[in-house]
Amino acid sequence: MEGIKEFINAICRPAPFLVLAIVALGLFLALYRKLTKPAAAAVLGGGFTLFFLLSCLDPNFQKIVAKADNVPIVMMMFAIGYFLWLSFRQAALNDAAIEAGQPLREAGSDDKVLVWPDLVYSEFISLILFTAFLTVWAIVLRAPLEQPADPNVAPNPAKAPWYFLGLQEMLVYFDPWLAGVLLPGLIIVGLVAIPYIDTNPRGNGYYTFKERRFAITMFLAGFVILWVVLIIFGTFLRGPNWNFFGPYEYWDMHKPMALLNTEFHDLFWTGLLGRALPTEGRGPIPAYLIREAPGIALLGAYFILGPLILRVLFFRKLAAKMGLIRYSVMVMLLLVMLLMPIKMVLRWTINLHYIVGITEWSLNV
């Protein structure tokens, strides 16, 4: 038993956890027709539930999932699992129907029913059931109220509200101007842009995966992995000092943390060229810009050559269909999104701190 717990604690570390989540999503998307069959889904859902319930026997696990404010996150986990199943099940049925030349599940768009009673009644029933659910929840679980606010006593860990914990997790890898300002801003811009950059006319108004593989995969990568999984991670697996703690591990205030960071400029100047960091400016160019030039060039190449390479390798047809502006916006958003896992992997593997570190301007990436 302890051995199993140790093992699970170990695979819940940031790197394996994220890799496992990505693999799980990938498998789900690759095998969605098989995995959403009721029997398979029941085994998966039941298995996870059983695992979760058994885990609740562990005092450390129980302490963190039963915390009043964390209960909604547990609900969200199950809800998102269920609704992903529900939608991909319908997508699988529709995709099979399309292949067989049969009508979609949502077909018959001319069959109209009256709002009173058909819609009004089902709205009313949903409303009653949900009220009952919310009332029971409110009776069973008290809203938390801790000690009065005290600006001199900071709790450890100090966590943002749960729905922002994905962003707080990003703070491990990026400076606040990125994790707290630019990335959230780009998430909003990116969401608003979706309808204008997705020019695929198919899959409008019905569940399908086959006809929209790229769009759906990207959206789920963002929503499920980079948003929801990171929230779950930040809530359940980050403890004092924002240190990692396995699900069955005690939140020890004094867990030591390894802090050995590598800067990209050190890798380049010292590691690659075997020289000291440049300390002299050249004419109007200050020394720190010369020091960071390799990092700037690398990022520049990522955002300038990236779109071109992607276009040649993968997006030839897509780019032609989308036109220059749409393609550029789409690929920029995609590259920003990919920068997150890239930076995470660089941190885990070579402990990279900043790619570009112009600390003189607080401009660090």
Closest contact distance (angstroms) between CB of 341 and another protein is 21
Binding segment toward another protein, per CB under 8 A, in 48-56, 202-210, 283-291, 316-324: 202-210
Instruction: Compute the distance between CA of residue 231 and CA of residue 290 in angstroms, rounded to an integer.
Output: 38
Query: Whose Cβ is closer to another protein: residue 69's or residue 252's?
Result: 69
Residue pair 200/219 in contact by the 8 Å Cβ criterion: no
The secondary element (H helix, E strand) that includes residue 358 is: strand 357-358
Residue pair 335/150 in contact by the 8 Å Cβ criterion: no
Query: Pick from 160, 285, 309, 350: which binds another protein (CB under 8 A)?
Result: 160
Closest contact distance (angstroms) between CB of 161 and another protein is 5
Residues 333-362 that bind another protein (CB under 8 A): 358, 361-362
Is residue 214 part of the contact set for another protein (CB under 8 A)? no
- How many Cβ atoms from other residues are within 10 Å of residue 23's Cβ? 11
Examine residue 148 and say whether the peptide bond preceding it is cis (omega within 30 degrees of 0): no
Residue pair 237/9 in contact by the 8 Å Cβ criterion: no
Closest contact distance (angstroms) between CB of 71 and another protein is 8
3-state secondary structure of 244: strand
Query: Whose Cβ is closer to another protein: residue 6's or residue 106's?
Result: 106
Query: Pick from 18, 41, 64, 91: which binds another protein (CB under 8 A)?
Result: 91
Residues 7-36 that bind another protein (CB under 8 A): none
The secondary element (H helix, E strand) that includes residue 363 is: strand 363-364
Residues 97-126 that bind another protein (CB under 8 A): 104-120, 122-123, 126
Is residue 80 part of the contact set for another protein (CB under 8 A)? yes
Greatest alpha-carbon span in the chain: 79
Closest contact distance (angstroms) between CB of 212 and another protein is 7
Is residue 1 part of the contact set for another protein (CB under 8 A)? no
> What's the token pair of residue 362?
């607080």
Query: Whose Cβ is closer to another protein: residue 116's or residue 276's?
Result: 116
